[in-house]
Amino acid sequence: MALRDISFFNEDIDYKIKDKQKIRQWIGATVTAEGFDRIGELNFILCSDVYLLEINKQYLDHDTYTDIVTFDSSEEDHVIAGDIFISVERTAENALKFGVSERDELHRVIIHGVLHLCGYVDKKKEDKELMTAKENEYLSKRAF
């Protein structure tokens, strides 16, 4: 698994993500457990609420704040690739709302985006329950 193909960027904020290499390894283990052969180019763009709102409006025609928008650019079977935009402001606010650490909420959203690229959806209640169960499963497998 080419973990070097997992990159982290900032847009419109000054934020330093901790444990990048450990996060890469965790994502790699998740992708393998989900039956994928490898990770293509996978970009995490950490941004502000305003930046992600504009992405949401421009590409999805949604005029709402969100914590994550995932774009799948996979071109081969059994390979995941894409761009995952995450509002650090929204994840911090949600951490307070749900009574969890900002780090745990950010990691939940990171793995949520990865699970979308693995084919999981979360529009219906049953799908959302499965997605949350998968998030919890992989969060529990973090070794850091």
Contact 40, 62 (CB under 8 A): no
Q: What is the mean pLDDT of the chain?
A: 96
Contact 121, 38 (CB under 8 A): no
The pLDDT of residue 3:
82
- Helix, coil or strand: residue 18: coil
The pLDDT of residue 4:
85
pTM above 0.85, yes or no: yes
Distance between CA atoms of residues 51 and 15, nearest Å: 14
Distance between CA atoms of residues 105 and 138, nearest Å: 13
91 — pLDDT class (breaks 50, 70, 90): very high
Strand partners, 39: 80
Distance between CA atoms of residues 89 and 72, nearest Å: 23
Distance between CA atoms of residues 112 and 69, nearest Å: 10
The pLDDT of residue 116:
98
